[in-house]
Structure 1
Amino acid sequence: MTVRNTGSQVALSVGASIPLPEQLDFVSLVSSQGSCTHDRWSSVLCKLGDLPTGRALTVTLQCTPSKTGSLTVKAFALTEALDHDANSGNDMPSLSLTVLP
């Protein structure tokens, strides 16, 4: 997941969540800023700190598929401060994956 601040102000106290589908078994997790944890309900929760305007950070998650088929992984990032968003169409990213045998 890449979180970018394309707004006009610093994004304060950025938090992120990646709920993992049951078809994915958690392996490892690394963030370029802040910290992330994997909980027993199979969610990744991150406290990423402040993100200056024009900057980006990444959360890299490695999983092993336990079943074949299609699945969707959705990642959400939120900030403590509300700023006018000129492009709200890029606020809820998702990634569709097909797991092959």
Structure 2
Amino acid sequence: MKVAYVFSSTNSQKILNNMILPQLEKDTHGAEVAGMFFFMDNTFFLLDGTEMGDRLQQLQEKTGMLLMACDQCAIERGIENSLIPGARIGCFPQLYSALGGAGVDQVITL
């Protein structure tokens, strides 16, 4: 099964940091993650030079998963040019285009 995650809630850091990332790092997640999309303050997860950013970058390099920050959210926070290598910014049209051929079975919003 292929999934994509949308991180929009204030609880996203705990879920991503303590559950999803450790499972992905240990190859025990149970689903292939095609991509992750980050909203609001969750765009800071993709900030270069942070522990979370480094972990996400390593997974992206290993799996090729899409990592995308909401463009307006990143711009409002002044981080659009400070994201980890490989991360993109965009809106739903870019997300749909990037994941269109990935064969995503389920989109999970956290």
Q: Same fold (TM over 0.5)?
A: no
**More helix per residue:** 2
Larger radius of gyration: 1
**More strand per residue:** 1
TM tier relative to shorter chain: under 0.3
